[in-house]
Amino acid sequence: MAEQIPNHYDENQIQVLEGLEAVRKRPGMYIGTTSSRGLHHLVYEIVDNAIDEALAGYCESIIVTLHTDNSVSVQDNGRGIPAGIHPKMGIPTLEVVYTVLHAGGKFGGEGYKIAGGLHGVGASVVNALSEWVELDNCYEGERYTERFERGKVARAFAHIGSSEGKHGLYVRFKPDADIFEETVFDYTTVLNRLREQAFLNAGVKIILRDERGAQIVSEAVETPQDGEQEKNPSDSAPSISAPTIGKEEVTLCYEGGIRSFVEHLNNVRRLAMIHPDVIYMRGEKNDSIAEVAMQYNDSYNENVMSFANNMHTIEGGTHETGFKMALTTVLNDYARKHGILKADDKNLTGEDTREGLCAVISVKLTDAQFESQTKAKLGNSEMRTLVASMVTEKLTEYLEENPSSAKQILEKSLAASRAREAARKARELTRRKSVLEGSTLPGKLADCQERRVELTELYLVEGDSAGGSAKSGRDSKFQAILPLRGKVLNVEKSRLDKVYTNLSLIPIIQALGCGIGEEFDINKLRYGKIILMADADVDGSHIRILLLTFFFRHMRQLIDDGHIYLAQPPLYKITKGKQIRYAFSDAERDAAIAELGGNVEAERYKGLGEMDAEQLWDTTMNPETRTLLKVNIEDAMACDETFSVLMGDKVEPRREFIEQNAVYATNLDI
Ligand code: 1YM
């Protein structure tokens, strides 16, 4: 190849290296974060390129493999990347794709009309942030390889012979441990993302292999599901803690596309449907396509997910508002026309029409504009009209043609509307009562002196005796204590009106000050950190899950904005004479015993109540010495699922979940 490379190779090479060096210096600018989320982003970036090739019609299967050395490979059976020298850059095109910033397939190619991708990251960013990248490219019957280390060519692009009938690109890379805080891939995270992509791109086959579990997974169990075949399942808990290892092989392929997505979302939550079929709509205008799939279940939750060019628009945007507007209008019009809403009845609100709704909105457009800081909100106004007019037409048609489904859906919305009215009354009653009592703060709250919210902490403490110790042990300057009375209401099984009138929740709502549901206002939050402090036993876990479910469903932003923490009380106290050590695990206990040597006493704390004020301060509340776990929702989808399964009405799936995950329960954070 050498003689084909023109002279300006050198100067281009300098520019390229400077570009990749910039990525290594400021990785956050290109992938948002160097946390686990950023790490996984690298895989998605390469997979997106393979999916583009599949959408262009040249590739039918994509294999993603998690290797034991923490590297990952992605292989497609598309055309492969053109093998020639790039006319402008004077280096092999393959090398351009992997070393030139923002090149990533979006230049010149006919098949790449639809551009998506967070921060416009491409293969070159993956290369810059990897310890090494190996490429094996089969293009037009010939095979080529190249290797990079930290973005630099380590083994030159080379033609190594015939491709022996194979075609497509194989990429294997190992993320650089100097860059990433976390370098172990989480199987569940990768699986969820690949599954989502398989749903969004109907018919594309994605295979996920995890070689890391091969040693520990031995028995094959057959549990084929619709569109998903698994070999060797070793079910992994959707946990907030350690990375999960997965099945040896899972195949994801859904001919039903987003219809199957909605079925899946409802099924994994083990929800009962209120009408038999998924409603599916599709519309096109100019170069844009909009699709919606929806079905109502009997829960009280709303689960509307939207995507633009296969990117999850977590903050919604025009396509989502178009959908919501049209849904509300169509249901109100239908209800008026058929006398379900009488002349003096108020209209259904948007929230009423979305109770129990599971919907997926997917739009594909040429010139997607993303707004907001995280670029997760679609801004193109033409998408609002496209989705709204499609939903107005197609949903009206569906309701007229399926009167019994229509009846079920409207009954659900009406019930939601009545509950909302009851909730409003309950809320007013609570407010009036607190006005009469002269204070909006609950009686049991021991407040702190500090008024600057970002400096304050509220401990929600299980039980009056632990509450007492916490009150005496705290630093009352910035720490407030609210002892919880009895079991917290399971909000997964209750409508809003019940939540407002629940005696276990009212003090929490009042202490936080930020309201709830429609009235929620983060600016009124009275504490920067809300710390759940419960025993390290089964009852304690139950209270933690109930509280987290409450925050997740009714004050979600507290979790999203990182206000919710879990206190970590020690499990053991090890004493030798006057020396005291605390241990937070069995291993730490053993280490402490070894350190102190002979004649030690190790006692297991049965509950927080056993600790006196000073011990509680030293181990669990003193910012200098305590450990707090921040509750963050990396994967809202998996989390939502877990809450539905764990806290829903159906006992059987909960029992199944607990049995399947029992081994993980000891290190499950919630
Ligand atoms: C495992 C990741 O990147 N596959 C892939 C990438 C490309 C092509 C095919 C491709 C695109 C085009 C023409 C085109 C890319 N090519 C380019 C570039 N899999 C993976 N498969 N021929 C092949 O866009 O017209 C960038 S990406 F720049 F060479 F065209």
SS3 58: coil
* CATH tag for 437-569+629-661 (out of 3.40.50.620, 3.40.50.300, 3.40.50.10210, 3.40.50.670): 3.40.50.670
How close is the Cα of 489 to the center of ligand 1, in Å?
54
CATH of domain 21-252: 3.30.565.10
pTM for the structure as a whole: 0.80
How close is the Cα of 85 to the center of ligand 1, in Å?
14
Q: Residue 225: its pLDDT value, please?
A: 45
Residue 232 has, within 13 A of its CA and on its CB side, a CA count of 17
**Catalytic residue list contains 539:** yes
Q: Which residues in 642-667 are b (16+ Cβ under 10 Å) and which e?
A: bbbbbbbeeeebeeebeeebeebeee
Overall average pLDDT of the 141-169 stretch: 97
How close is the Cα of 155 to the center of ligand 1, in Å?
21
Each residue's pLDDT tens digit, 562-608: 999 999 999 898 999 888 888 988 889 999 999 988 789 988 888 88
DSSP state of 455: G
* Domain ranges across the chain: 21-252, 258-425, 437-569+629-661
**Catalytic residue list contains 287:** no
| Best probe residue, ligand 1, of 49, 98, 145 (max atoms within 8 Å of C-beta) | 49
Each residue's pLDDT tens digit, 341-362: 999 999 999 999 999 999 999 9
Of residues 284 and 433, which shows the higher confidence score?
284
* CATH tag for 258-425 (out of 3.40.50.9100, 3.40.50.880, 2.30.30.50, 3.30.230.10): 3.30.230.10
Each residue's pLDDT tens digit, 514-573: 988 778 899 999 999 999 999 877 788 888 888 998 998 889 899 989 999 999 999 898
With a Cβ cut-off of 6 Å, ligand 1 is lined by 46, 49-50, 53, 74, 76, 78-79, 81-82, 93, 97, 105, 109-112, 169, 171
Domain 21-252 shares a fold with domain 437-569+629-661: no
Give me the long-range contacts of 92-95 (CB less than 8 A, separation at least 24).
92/1, 92/144, 92/146, 92/157, 94/135, 94/137, 94/144, 94/146, 94/157, 95/146, 95/153, 95/157
* Cβ contact 470:459 at 8 Å: yes
Tell me how far apart the alpha carbons of residues 320 and 264 are, in angstroms, rounded to a whole number: 20
SS3 295: strand
Residue 663 confidence class, pLDDT cut points 50, 70, 90: very low
